[in-house]
Structures are given as structure tokens and as C-alpha cells.
């Protein structure tokens, strides 16, 4: 295998799956500060809807991950794809779904 292709492969594996402890800390801060700015510091709602487990219960993971990554056109919800990847959005959703 070409060494550059191998390096690309290994690098892509490193970014897949569960975030590192440092990245988790960054993501928790993003959730509290950036998401909390619109969804309320306790995530009970504000400019944006509440992000509590009972509110999210009827919505699919893929719908919510897509909303996180792509935003919602015509609303204040921005796309977070430039800052987080699919696995990180899924990890954040897991945090939000915990009671």
C-alpha cells in the first residue's frame, strides 16, 4: 500500500468513533456555551427549543444529527458541520438524550 494512502487511512480512523477526552471537553463546552446561547443555559429552551431528553425522545438520531450538522434553514440554527463531524454530533446527541 502506498505510504500516503496508508497515512490517510490511519488518520481517518483516528477521527472516527468516540472523541478523545480533550475533544469531549471541547464539545461539552460547545454544548454549554454555544448551544446554550440559543437553547438556554440549562437547555430548557430559549430562542431555540428545549433540548431535554423527553423533548428529543420522539425524534430519530439521524434527524437530530442532520439538524446539528446542517442547521435549519430559515431559523437561527446554524450548521455546525464546519466545526464537528458526524461522530461528534452523535456523541453530543448521546449526552442530550441522557436523563
Please report the pLDDT score of residue 17 as a whole number: 82
Q: Tell me how many domains the chain contains.
A: 1
- Does some domain include residue 2? no
Question: Can you tell me the mean pLDDT for 86-93?
Answer: 97
**CATH number of the domain residue 24 falls in:** 1.10.760.10
- Does some domain include residue 59? yes
Question: What's the pLDDT tens digit per position in 74-84?
Answer: 999 999 999 99
Residue 16 pLDDT class (50, 70, 90 cuts) = low
The pLDDT of residue 34 is above 70? yes
51 burial class (0-12, 13-18, 19+ CB within 10 angstroms)?
Answer: buried
- Does some domain include residue 81? yes
The pLDDT of residue 3 is above 60? no
Distance (Å, rounded) from C-alpha 36 to C-alpha 48?
9
Domain extent, residue 34, equals 18-97
The pLDDT of residue 91 is above 60? yes
- Does some domain include residue 39? yes
Distance (Å, rounded) from C-alpha 41 to C-alpha 12?
33
Question: Can you tell me the mean pLDDT for 49-71?
Answer: 97
88 burial class (0-12, 13-18, 19+ CB within 10 angstroms)?
Answer: buried
End-to-end CA separation in angstroms for the chain: 46
The pLDDT of residue 66 is above 50? yes
The pLDDT of residue 42 is above 80? yes
- Does some domain include residue 9? no
Amino acid at each position: 500500500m502506498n505510504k500516503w494512502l496508508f497515512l490517510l487511512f490511519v488518520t481517518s480512523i483516528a477521527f472516527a468513533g468516540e472523541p478523545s477526552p480533550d475533544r469531549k471537553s471541547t464539545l461539552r463546552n460547545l454544548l454549554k456555551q454555544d448551544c446554550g446561547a440559543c437553547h438556554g443555559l440549562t437547555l430548557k429552551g430559549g430562542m431555540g427549543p428545549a433540548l431535554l431528553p423527553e423533548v428529543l425522545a420522539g425524534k430519530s438520531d439521524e434527524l437530530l444529527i442532520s439538524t446539528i450538522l446542517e442547521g435549519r434553514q430559515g431559523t437561527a440554527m446554524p450548521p455546525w458541520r464546519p466545526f464537528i463531524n458526524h461522530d461528534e454530533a452523535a456523541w453530543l446527541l448521546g449526552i442530550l438524550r441522557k436523563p
